[in-house]
Amino acid sequence: MSASRKIAFIGLGIMGSPMAANLVKAGHHVTGYNLQQPAIDALVAAGGHGATSIAEAVADAEVVITMVPADPHVLQVVLGEGGVLENVKAGTLVIDMSSITPQTSIKVAAAAKEKGVRTLDAPVSGGEAGAVEAVLSIMVGGDDAADFAEAKPIFDALGTTVVHVGPAGAGQTVKAANQLIVAVNIQVLAEAVVFLENAGVDLAAALDVLGGGLAGSTVLNRKKGNMLNREFAPGFRIDLHHKDMGIVTDAARAVGAALPVGAVVAQLVASARANGDGSLDHSALLRGVERLSGRTVA
């Protein structure tokens, strides 16, 4: 086991809660802060510690991890009044594992550097199941390879694929590409499901055989149960994927990359959200295909 570190974990949501718990299991001293008290209580029950503010959580931390929904939350938590940078010691390593724009990660890194604080942007892929099972894919951006090396044992407690992909903001760029690929895969899987059902094929059998061939994917393996059972409890909400499709669309425009299929899927994600499905798992894109196919969707 790697040496124990004092870690502050800010943001104990669907992803953050199991991630923090896995760091406790790995032997780290984890102090968590979250806006909702039950999540803090759950971390304490798992062997961690709770804090009543960001300042309290990060006071003695060697490493601070933030896992919050979007850019405004990162800016508030890290740069805002009472936030991380106001309260950490110089030399602390701040790791943002949220999914945000590369530009925000670069802004956070610059502000932290002025205060002598080191940063990494390290968004993840794998959803709630990957967080619980500690098999996340973690794409890491940061200007100093030594910071990545220091953080690697922490990342290894959370995931199985951990790669330093470039300077500050690079992790977010790779995550944007990940979200593009995932959204397109879920959409086309949903289309295949409706096609197979309309054709009268045994859907479970069809998905099993498709999963064994070139059409197989992690998306198919992870999401086929949701689609078969029409169970869309959120592992990753459509609201958040809508946000991420905005990130990849803007980032692609900035670098002059055309995303013709991605642009269509971004609109279908937006449509799902407009139809009231934003709080459901992104596998609920199936409901949009059903609407387009003339089915009544409850």
CB neighbour burial string for 114-132, b if at least 16 within 10 angstroms, e if fewer: eeebbbbbbbbbbbbebbb
Element (H, E) at 60: none
The CATH H-level superfamily of 6-167 is: NAD(P)-binding Rossmann-like Domain (3.40.50.720)
Residues annotated catalytic, as ranges: 175
Report the predicted TM-score, pTM, of the whole model to 2 decimal places: 0.91
Q: What is the pLDDT along the chain (298 residues), one digit of tens a residue?
A: 468 999 999 999 999 999 999 999 999 999 999 999 999 999 999 999 999 999 999 999 999 999 999 999 999 999 999 999 999 999 999 999 999 999 999 999 999 999 999 999 999 999 899 999 999 999 999 999 999 999 999 999 999 999 999 999 999 999 999 999 999 999 999 999 999 999 999 999 999 999 999 999 999 999 999 999 999 999 899 999 999 999 999 999 999 999 999 999 999 999 999 999 999 999 999 999 999 999 999 8
Whether 7 and 62 have beta carbons less than 8 Å apart is answered as yes
Could you tell me the residue ranges of all domains in the chain?
6-167, 174-292
From the list 67, 57, 49, 66, the residue with the least C-alpha distance to 88 is 57
Query: What CATH topology corresponds to 174-292?
Result: N-(1-d-carboxylethyl)-l-norvaline Dehydrogenase; domain 2 (1.10.1040)
